[in-house]
Amino acid sequence: MLKCHLKFILTIVVFFMYGYVHADVTSEIVKIEFGPQHGNIIFVDTVNDNQTTCSNNGAGFDYSFDSSTNIGGKLYSALLAAQRSSEAITIHGSGTCSHASTEDIAWIRSL
């Protein structure tokens, strides 16, 4: 019986940890930054702060991605369109922060 309870508790803990590690953020895009000093990396700041532990960029950026890939170009186009239209978009992070303490984007969804 105790073994069954421990498995249940462990399952609940893992479930909540997974949700905390990388959560969806539905928000408007505040700013997008890129340039020669960043190489192919584009940084994105949202109105609603990213709660991922590793995302604590000093300039306030929440997410980043590599624009040199085929999907990176599509991400940039979609994020720029969302920013310019002041429409909210859902961003799902990967749980990994590869660039300047910003979470890598796993996928986005327009609303």
Average of per-residue pLDDT across 62-88? 96
Question: How far is it, in rounded angstroms, from Cα 84 to Cα 20?
Answer: 30
Alpha-carbon distances of 55 from 25, 73, 77, 92, rounded to whole Å: 13, 23, 23, 13
Strands 89-93 and 103-110: antiparallel
CB of 66 closer than 8 Å to CB of 40: yes
pLDDT at position 3 over 70: no
Average pLDDT of the residues of the chain: 85
Average of per-residue pLDDT across 37-51? 92
Sketch the domain layout of the chain as residue ranges: 2-110
DSSP 72: H
* CATH topology classification for 2-110: OB fold (Dihydrolipoamide Acetyltransferase, E2P) (2.40.50)
Lowest mean pLDDT, pick from 2-6, 45-49, 54-58, 67-71: 2-6
Whole-prediction pTM value? 0.79
